[in-house]
């Protein structure tokens, strides 16, 4: 029996594993980098072990250090979570070689499926050896790893070499393996997967389907179970292929077999030999705890011959600290407040006061709703997102809310190109026009010591705020009757709550302020000074870092004085496990390059200047 388990991961999945262990009476050990010393997963575990350093390659990817940490802390089992070393066969062997339980499939199964090319060959699928015009479009993919890294869509033959080079470089940086392959790119397909669970006695459960078609940068954003609209025949075909893949490698534990479905035909993508981020929707539909079952399988217990019957529908949305309207740029900073209404499941690795750093994935939390029908589950999750309060860096909350209510999604007609088609409309700013007034009234109450009323008439008070890329000036005055604003009746105003009556309808506005940042219901505002600081102005054509990161690539031959075209990639920043292109804002001449390869930059740092033509 497992008594003490080390979680070889961080963030949300580490906290989720600790939660199950606590219910089972298993002690937990967390490992943490220096950047994660005070992270939530380190706070909730019974014991912690430091991994010196901050970057993943120095910490969470150091299998040797983690195996030593498990032995030093008295653990008798290791759970890898997902990402990092979860699909590393050598790490699994090191854990087993140390006499510990490995909460995952046998190393041989991991190795067989770790390379997407080998996995396809096991199922009789050969990658493209030579690409012709007739094969386009194609997808360049990393043979190892996942999460959208090392992946490029190629639509023209003259773009193939650059795509291969970029994919190899990104794959080598992310997974330590630069192998890539090419396969047909299926456009307009749905991403559907089958959750499997197998024991060491020959039983393999296909635990339903999941649809994960809403993706950005080949990473999933919204997932649901079961996948809507599949025929019984197609579902059974997916089950048969998933079980066949598991049996082909003597699989044990939890895993996922992924497909792309186009025109009713399934195309095998890969097998993930680990727990998936989206596993909670399967847990909700089958009323199971997959982590608890992983532990039972690792202890040698057999599964019942047949899985439980599914019930209802579940939908999951991933909350990311990112700006979807600006190329999904990751965001960093302090998470001042996070609250989610009751009735939905919240899996998170953050609490109020935690800092979202630059070294790791920007996912903050997952919200999961379960209901008897798909429509009810979607409505329940959308309602919860609408009432979720996030104060801190920009997030994708509004995008998720609009996605769930989009007619294409509610009618289950979505596919993997959903955001390619709809992103501009889904990110169109729609701020509440009365949010600046509520912010000003709350600020007046919070900062005014003696009140604002005067015995003689006075000019209106004015305050300025930036909201959704625009400046708003608010005017109001104090009278004997109270606060007045044009066309709006102020019913109540204090530092945290403002009640306004507009056209006979009373509305409540919850207000929170952290320095110059103000949050009014779901809107984020910045209080502006009365007079702008002239020293903050930048020269036209200046490129500044949109996030903290490391300069990992500079365009070949790029030197000061070079001619550049608007939109031309100049350099690449790596932040939060992703590469981000920095492109020329205008056509002109590169008059200054302020960074070098390998340099770390902070948000707002001046990277380069392009003198417009």
Categorize the per-residue pLDDT at 380 as very low, low, confident or very high, splitting at 50, 70 and 90: very high
User: In DSSP terms, which residues pair with 138 in a beta bridge?
Assistant: 154, 184
Domain range 435-528, its CATH number among 3.40.50.720, 3.30.700.40, 3.40.630.40, 3.40.50.300: 3.30.700.40
CA distance 37 to 355: 11
Q: Where are the domains of the chain?
A: 4-103, 116-184, 190-426, 435-528, 537-612
CA distance 498 to 154: 52
Q: Report the catalytic residues.
A: 274
Residues 6+ apart with CB under 8 A from 580: 327, 329, 330, 546, 547, 549, 572, 573, 574
Residues 6+ apart with CB under 8 A from 610: 541, 543, 564, 584, 585, 586, 588, 589, 590, 591
- Output phi, psi for 110, to 5 deg: -60, -45
pLDDT in tens, 13-23: 999 999 999 99
Q: What pLDDT is attached to residue 531? A: 61
Burial of 50 (0-12, 13-18, 19+ CB in 10 A): middle
User: Between 454 and 369, where is the model more confident?
Assistant: 369
Q: What pLDDT is attached to residue 449? A: 43
Instruction: Please provide the distance, in angstroms rounded to a whole number, between the alpha carbons at the two ends of the chain.
Output: 71
Could you tell me what percent of the chain has a pLDDT over 90?
Answer: 73
* Cα 549 to Cα 583, 596, 598, distances in angstroms: 16, 13, 10
Going by the DSSP 8-state scheme, the letter that residue 128 receives in this structure is B
Q: What pLDDT is attached to residue 542? A: 86
**CATH C-level class of 4-103:** alpha beta
Averaged pLDDT, 98-109:
97
Q: What pLDDT is attached to residue 174? A: 72
Q: How many CB atoms lie within 10 A of CB 57?
A: 11
pLDDT in tens, 69-94: 999 999 999 999 999 999 999 999 99
Checking if the pLDDT of 450 tops 60, the result is no
Instruction: Tell which CATH architecture fits domain 190-426.
Output: 2-Layer Sandwich (3.30)
Helices (H) and strands (E) in the chain, counts: 15, 38
pLDDT in tens, 307-358: 999 999 999 999 999 999 998 999 999 999 999 999 999 999 999 999 999 8
Categorize the per-residue pLDDT at 609 as very low, low, confident or very high, splitting at 50, 70 and 90: very high
Domain range 537-612, its CATH number among 3.40.50.620, 3.90.550.10, 3.40.50.2030, 2.40.50.100: 2.40.50.100
437-473 per-residue burial string, b: 16 or more CB within 10 A, e: under 16: bbbbbbbbbeeeeeeeeeeeeeeebebbbebeeeebe
CA distance 63 to 8: 9
Checking if the pLDDT of 410 tops 70, the result is yes
Burial of 170 (0-12, 13-18, 19+ CB in 10 A): buried
Checking if the pLDDT of 549 tops 90, the result is no
pTM: 0.85
Residue by residue, DSSP assigns 54-93 as SSGGGTTT-HHHHHHHHHHTT-SEEE--SSTTTT-HHHHH
Spatial CA neighbour of 384 closest among 324, 319, 337: 319
pLDDT in tens, 26-73: 999 999 999 999 999 999 999 999 999 999 999 999 999 999 999 999
- Rounded to 5°, the CA angle 151-154-160 comes to 95
User: Between 169 and 103, where is the model more confident?
Assistant: 103
Checking if the pLDDT of 118 tops 90, the result is no
Spatial CA neighbour of 147 closest among 122, 127, 175: 175
Q: What pLDDT is attached to residue 451? A: 46
pLDDT in tens, 592-607: 999 988 888 877 788 9
Averaged pLDDT, 165-169:
89
Checking if the pLDDT of 455 tops 60, the result is no
Checking if the pLDDT of 386 tops 90, the result is yes
Categorize the per-residue pLDDT at 303 as very low, low, confident or very high, splitting at 50, 70 and 90: very high
Averaged pLDDT, 473-488:
80
Top-ranked range on mean pLDDT: pick from 183-192, 304-313, 472-481, 524-533: 304-313
Q: What pLDDT is attached to residue 458? A: 57
CA distance 276 to 383: 25
Residues 6+ apart with CB under 8 A from 605: 544, 545, 594, 595
Assigned token pair, 558? 């790029």
Give the lowest-confidence range in 141-145, 220-224, 434-438.
141-145
CA distance 570 to 583: 5
Fold (CATH) for 116-184: Dna Ligase; domain 1 (3.30.1490)
CA distance 38 to 32: 9
Q: Are 286 and 307 in contact (CB under 8 A)?
A: yes
293-310 per-residue burial string, b: 16 or more CB within 10 A, e: under 16: bbbbbbeeeebeeebeeb
Averaged pLDDT, 230-249:
97
């Amino acid at each position: 029996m497992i008594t003490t388990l080390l979680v070889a991961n961080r963030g949300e999945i580490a906290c989720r594993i600790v939660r199950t262990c606590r219910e089972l009476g298993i002690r937990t050990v967390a490992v943490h980098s220096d950047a994660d010393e005070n992270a939530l997963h380190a706070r909730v575990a019974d014991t912690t072990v430091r991994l010196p350093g901050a970057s993943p390659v120095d910490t969470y990817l150091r299998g040797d250090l983690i195996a030593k940490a498990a032995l030093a802390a008295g653990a008798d089992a290791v759970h890898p979570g997902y990402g990092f070393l979860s699909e590393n066969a050598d790490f699994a062997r090191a854990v087993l070689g140390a006499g510990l339980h490995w909460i995952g499939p046998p190393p041989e199964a991991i190795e067989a499926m770790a390379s997407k090319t080998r996995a396809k060959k096991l199922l009789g699928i050969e990658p493209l050896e030579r690409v012709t015009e007739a094969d386009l479009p194609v997808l360049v993919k990393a043979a190892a790893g996942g999460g959208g890294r090392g992946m490029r869509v190629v639509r023209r033959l003259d773009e193939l070499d650059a795509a291969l080079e970029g994919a190899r470089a990104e794959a080598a940086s992310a997974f330590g393996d630069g192998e890539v392959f090419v396969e047909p790119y299926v456009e307009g397909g749905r991403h559907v997967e089958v959750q499997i669970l197998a024991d060491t006695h020959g039983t393999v459960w296909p635990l339903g389907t999941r649809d994960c078609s809403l993706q950005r940068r080949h990473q999933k954003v919204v997932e649901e179970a079961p996948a809507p609209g599949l025929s019984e025949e197609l579902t059974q075909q997916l089950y048969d292929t998933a079980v066949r893949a598991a049996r082909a490698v003597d699989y044990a534990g939890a895993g996922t077999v992924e497909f792309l479905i186009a025109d009713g035909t399934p195309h095998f993508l890969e097998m993930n030999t680990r727990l998936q981020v989206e596993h909670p929707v399967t847990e909700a539909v089958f009323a199971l705890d997959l982590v608890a079952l992983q532990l039972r399988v690792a202890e040698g217990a057999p599964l019942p011959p047949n899985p439980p019957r599914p019930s209802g529908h579940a939908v999951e949305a991933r909350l990311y600290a990112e700006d979807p309207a600006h190329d999904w740029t990751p965001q960093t900073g302090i998470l001042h407040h996070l609250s989610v209404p009751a009735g939905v499941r919240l899996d998170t690795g953050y609490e109020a006061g935690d800092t979202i750093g630059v070294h790791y994935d920007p996912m903050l939390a997952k919200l999961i709703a379960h209901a008897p029908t798909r429509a009810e589950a979607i409505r329940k999750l959308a309602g919860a997102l609408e009432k979720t309060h996030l104060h801190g860096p920009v997030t994708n909350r509004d995008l998720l809310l609009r996605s769930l209510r989009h007619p294409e999604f509610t009618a289950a007609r979505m596919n993997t190109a959903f955001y390619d088609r709809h992103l501009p409309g889904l990110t169109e700013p729609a701020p509440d026009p009365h949010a600046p007034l509520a912010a000003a009234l709350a600020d007046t109450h919070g900062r005014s010591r003696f009140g604002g009323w005067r015995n003689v008439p006075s000019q209106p008070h004015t305050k300025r705020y930036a909201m959704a890329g625009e400046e708003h000036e608010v005017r109001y005055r104090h009278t004997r009757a109270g606060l007045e604003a044009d066309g709006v009746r102020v019913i109540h105003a204090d530092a945290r709550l403002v009640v306004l009556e507009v056209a006979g309808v009373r509305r409540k506005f919850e207000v929170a302020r952290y320095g110059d940042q103000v949050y009014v219901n779901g809107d984020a505002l910045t209080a502006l000074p009365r007079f702008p600081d002239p020293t903050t102005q930048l020269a036209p054509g200046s490129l500044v870092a949109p996030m903290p990161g490391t300069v990992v690539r500079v365009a070949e031959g790029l030197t000061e004085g070079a001619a550049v075209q608007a939109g031309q990639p100049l350099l690449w920043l790596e932040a939060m496990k992703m590469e981000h292109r920095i492109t020329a804002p205008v056509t002109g001449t590169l008059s200054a390059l302020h960074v070098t390869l390998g340099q770390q930059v902070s948000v707002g740092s001046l990277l380069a200047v392009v003198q417009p033509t």
